[in-house]
């Protein structure tokens, strides 16, 4: 029985790292849920213990942010942002800067995976319209969504988890890591400038008409008003989960959009995956698997190394769930290190974050190919430099 329990955990985390299990039609959400169910079937956990393991505040925060992002997308907010980018930035290098800092800012405010999903087809459309090589701009988007999301608790799922576990306020988190995110974005621009000579041009390209789109002004005004109120509430220190759910509830009161349209935009797979991961982590704890790792996380440098390794083996969210139990004498600096390292590690390889995979898969449908090697050439040096910067920034 014990061997079977270990085997289930091993296969589940292998599947989570790969994103699939060979020969089976399963994604990360179903792999996590099946793994959790098998641990219950093997008697390691009962339903009560599994239910208690789920951090409902994290799920509520994630759900609320998805509803907010869905309303902003439906109102035309993101297309409007792209339109302004085209109208007021007139050179290839200007486009690179605008895209990097624009997507970085949006990823700090909203979930980075959502920003990657929405902006990838728009970036491809812009580069086709301007007859530019899309690859450096897509790398800029993928990298910036990871780097920008370092800045706030709402930037990515692992930050949301850490906020729930640590109790760090939204404002304290942002004050500590926003400068790091900004410097990292500057480094990314310089690195892409070095790697791709074609993006260095400051010569204006021919003026073109941006893609046609529709703006729903009442919905846009309502979404921006509620989102602004939400960010103010975050800065005032009001509990994030409750505030986000209230904001989402206000946005769902509407005469203009069918609820199905909004709820279809919610990433239910991600929410279900989180439920499965919480249960899996509880099972791992009960088996005592994590004790053998404690000697590897006894100082900030070792925590940084183990976080980067696990984030690229099993993805950053499972890594944070596993490691948060092991951190010796957790304090604000250590939590911030875990948040930054798990996020920045996502730029290391194409498989390092969901945002990277979203960009790669979306661009493949448009007839382009973002290869593992191409991304590694960009991501490896960027990750090393930003992680070194993180260590010295925090310690």
Per-residue pLDDT at 211: 62
pLDDT band at 310 (very low <50, low <70, confident <90, very high): confident
Tens of pLDDT, residue by residue over 6-55, are 899 889 888 877 777 888 888 888 998 999 999 999 988 899 999 998 98
> What is the Cα 162 distance to its own chain's centre?
13
- Provide the 10 A C-beta neighbour count for residue 46: 10
Whether residue 248 has pLDDT greater than 90: yes
pLDDT band at 291 (very low <50, low <70, confident <90, very high): low
Per-residue pLDDT at 97: 92
Residue 48 CB burial class (10 angstroms; 0-12, 13-18, ≥19): exposed
Per-residue pLDDT at 246: 95
Residue 141 near residue 124 (C-beta atoms within 8 A) = no
Per-residue pLDDT at 139: 93
Min mean pLDDT across 141-155, 171-185, 254-268, 334-348 is at 254-268
Query: What's the rounded Cα separation, in Å, for the pair 317 and 353?
Result: 9
**Better pLDDT: 268 or 179:** 179
Mean pLDDT taken over the chain: 86
Q: What is the mean pLDDT of residues 55-74?
A: 88
Residue 94 near residue 171 (C-beta atoms within 8 A) = no
Question: Tokens 């790398």 sit at which residue?
Answer: 139
Per-residue pLDDT at 293: 67
Per-residue pLDDT at 288: 75
Domain ranges (residues) in the chain:
1-394
Per-residue pLDDT at 339: 94
Residue 265 CB burial class (10 angstroms; 0-12, 13-18, ≥19): middle
Whether residue 292 has pLDDT greater than 70: no
Whether residue 360 has pLDDT greater than 80: no
The segment with the largest mean pLDDT, out of 141-150, 156-165, 231-240, is 141-150
Per-residue pLDDT at 251: 93
Q: What is the mean pLDDT of residues 337-346?
A: 93
Per-residue pLDDT at 313: 75
């Amino acid at each position: 029985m014990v061997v079977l329990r270990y085997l289930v955990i091993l296969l589940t985390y292998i599947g989570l790292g790969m994103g699939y299990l060979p020969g089976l039609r399963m994604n990360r959400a179903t792999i996590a849920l099946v793994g959790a169910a098998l641990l219950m079937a093997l008697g390691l956990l009962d339903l009560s213990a599994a239910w208690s393991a789920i951090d409902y505040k994290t799920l509520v925060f994630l759900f609320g942010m998805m509803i907010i992002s869905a309303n902003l997308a439906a109102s035309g907010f993101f297309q409007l942002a792209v339109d302004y980018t085209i109208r007021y930035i007139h050179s290839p290098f200007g486009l690179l800067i605008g895209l990097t800092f624009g997507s970085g800012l949006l990823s700090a405010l909203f979930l980075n995976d959502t920003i990657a999903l929405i902006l990838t087809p728009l970036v491809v459309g812009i580069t086709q319209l301007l007859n530019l090589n899309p690859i450096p701009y897509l790398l800029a988007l993928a990298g910036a969504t990871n780097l920008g999301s370092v800045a706030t608790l709402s930037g990515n799922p692992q930050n949301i988890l850490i906020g729930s576990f640590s109790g760090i306020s939204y404002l304290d988190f942002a004050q500590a890591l926003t400068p790091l995110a900004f410097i990292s974005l500057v480094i990314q621009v310089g690195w892409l400038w070095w790697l791709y000579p074609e993006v260095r041009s400051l010569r204006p390209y021919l003026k073109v008409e941006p893609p046609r789109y529709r703006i729903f002004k009442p919905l846009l005004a309502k979404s921006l008003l509620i989102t602004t109120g939400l960010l103010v509430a975050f800065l005032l220190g009001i509990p994030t989960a409750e505030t986000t759910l209230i904001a989402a509830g206000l946005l769902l009161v509407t005469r203009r959009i069918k609820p199905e349209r909004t709820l279809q935009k919610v990433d239910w797979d991600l929410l279900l995956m989180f439920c499965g991961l919480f249960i899996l982590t509880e099972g791992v704890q009960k088996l005592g698997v994590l004790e053998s790792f404690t000697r590897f996380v006894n100082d900030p440098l070792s925590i940084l190394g183990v976080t980067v390794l696990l984030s690229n083996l099993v993805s950053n969210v499972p890594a944070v769930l596993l490691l948060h139990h092991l951190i010796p004498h957790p304090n604000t600096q250590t939590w911030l290190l875990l948040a930054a390292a798990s996020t920045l590690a996502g730029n290391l390889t194409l498989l390092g974050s969901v945002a990277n995979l979203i960009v790669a898969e979306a661009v493949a449908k448009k007839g382009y190919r973002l290869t593992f090697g191409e991304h590694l050439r960009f991501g490896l040096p960027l990750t090393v430099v930003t992680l070194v910067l993180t260590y010295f920034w925090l310690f």
